[in-house]
Amino acid sequence: MTQIAFHFGAPDKLAYTCRLLRKAVGSGARVMVRADQATCQRLDVQLWAVSPADFVTHCNGAAQGSLAVRSSIVFADDSPADPVQLSVLVNLGEGVPAGFDAFKRVIEVVSLEDEDRQQARVRWKQYTSLGYDIERHDLNLKAGI
């Protein structure tokens, strides 16, 4: 069964997602990031801005051939055609992604903004109504340690 984790309290959602992606790729995971096109573009720029030692390969979900196969991170505004080669789904979108259960792990990143937190509550309820146990990571508590 797919593991679901919510990371609550990201003060800068995209900066946190960049760190999360570098960590996931560093552990050998291939990741799909589901977000609207504008968010994917901002995340792409931020990933290019990291130091060369921290750079992770990434591409748009529409990429063809070897680029898509060799990229550690794939950006998409929908579920991919072939999620088998991607083990982690990072959801930055508003709803529960279709086909999320094809991934080993789903990570929901939630900012401090009220609207984002409200949408996360709805997704949490949807996952639990489908029978999933959810792992909760409160980033505010970790920052205080």
Q: What is the CATH number of the domain that holds 46?
A: 3.40.50.10110
pLDDT band at 140 (very low <50, low <70, confident <90, very high): confident
Portion of the chain with pLDDT greater than 70, in percent: 91
pLDDT band at 69 (very low <50, low <70, confident <90, very high): confident
* Full domain range(s) for residue 137: 3-143
Is it the case that residue 145 has pLDDT exceeding 50? no
pLDDT band at 19 (very low <50, low <70, confident <90, very high): very high
SS3 127: helix
What mean pLDDT value characterizes the chain?
89
Give this prediction's pTM: 0.91
Task: Provide mean pLDDT across the span 60-73.
Answer: 80
For the chain, how many structural domains are there in total? 1
Dihedral sign, Cα of residue 35, residue 38, residue 40, residue 46: negative
CA 65 – CA 55 distance, rounded (Å): 21
